[in-house]
Protein backbone atom coordinates (compact mmCIF):
# COMPACT_ATOMS: atom_id res chain seq x y z
CA UNK A 1 0.00 0.00 0.00
CA UNK A 2 1.23 3.48 -0.86
CA UNK A 3 0.95 6.54 1.35
CA UNK A 4 -1.40 9.23 0.02
CA UNK A 5 -0.08 12.71 -0.72
CA UNK A 6 0.06 15.13 2.18
CA UNK A 7 0.69 18.18 -0.02
CA UNK A 8 -2.65 19.81 0.83
CA UNK A 9 -2.44 19.28 4.59
CA UNK A 10 -1.61 21.98 7.10
CA UNK A 11 1.82 21.59 8.68
CA UNK A 12 0.40 20.50 12.05
CA UNK A 13 -1.64 17.75 10.39
CA UNK A 14 1.38 16.59 8.37
CA UNK A 15 3.39 16.37 11.57
CA UNK A 16 0.62 14.38 13.26
CA UNK A 17 0.55 11.83 10.39
CA UNK A 18 4.36 11.63 10.26
CA UNK A 19 4.57 11.01 14.00
CA UNK A 20 1.82 8.39 13.76
CA UNK A 21 3.75 6.60 11.00
CA UNK A 22 6.99 6.80 12.96
CA UNK A 23 5.38 5.19 16.01
CA UNK A 24 2.99 2.66 14.46
CA UNK A 25 4.06 2.16 10.80
CA UNK A 26 0.45 1.62 9.76
CA UNK A 27 0.10 3.09 6.27
CA UNK A 28 -3.55 2.12 5.92
CA UNK A 29 -4.54 4.02 9.05
CA UNK A 30 -2.24 6.92 8.11
CA UNK A 31 -4.12 7.18 4.81
CA UNK A 32 -7.40 7.39 6.73
CA UNK A 33 -5.93 10.22 8.78
CA UNK A 34 -4.78 11.99 5.61
CA UNK A 35 -8.29 11.66 4.15
CA UNK A 36 -9.80 13.08 7.34
CA UNK A 37 -7.37 16.01 7.45
CA UNK A 38 -7.87 16.67 3.71
CA UNK A 39 -11.62 17.19 3.96
CA UNK A 40 -12.58 20.72 2.89
CA UNK A 41 -15.08 21.02 5.74
CA UNK A 42 -12.46 20.26 8.42
CA UNK A 43 -12.50 23.14 10.93
CA UNK A 44 -9.32 25.17 11.28
CA UNK A 45 -9.69 25.82 15.00
CA UNK A 46 -9.45 23.19 17.71
CA UNK A 47 -12.58 24.32 19.57
CA UNK A 48 -14.81 23.74 16.56
CA UNK A 49 -12.92 20.51 15.86
CA UNK A 50 -13.98 19.22 19.27
CA UNK A 51 -17.50 20.67 19.43
CA UNK A 52 -18.52 19.53 15.95
CA UNK A 53 -17.52 15.90 16.53
CA UNK A 54 -14.29 15.80 14.52
CA UNK A 55 -12.33 14.62 17.54
CA UNK A 56 -14.69 11.65 17.73
CA UNK A 57 -13.89 10.85 14.08
CA UNK A 58 -10.17 11.09 14.78
CA UNK A 59 -10.46 8.81 17.82
CA UNK A 60 -12.53 6.33 15.83
CA UNK A 61 -9.74 6.04 13.24
CA UNK A 62 -7.05 5.70 15.90
CA UNK A 63 -8.96 2.96 17.78
CA UNK A 64 -9.74 0.79 14.73
pLDDT digit string, tens, across residues 3-49: 999 999 999 999 999 999 999 999 999 999 999 999 999 998 989 99
* CA dihedral sign of residues 41, 39, 14, 63: positive
* CA dihedral sign of residues 30, 32, 33, 34: positive
Q: Is the pTM of this model over 0.85?
A: yes
Amino acid sequence: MELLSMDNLRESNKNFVKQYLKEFRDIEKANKLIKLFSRPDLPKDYGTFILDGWLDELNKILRE
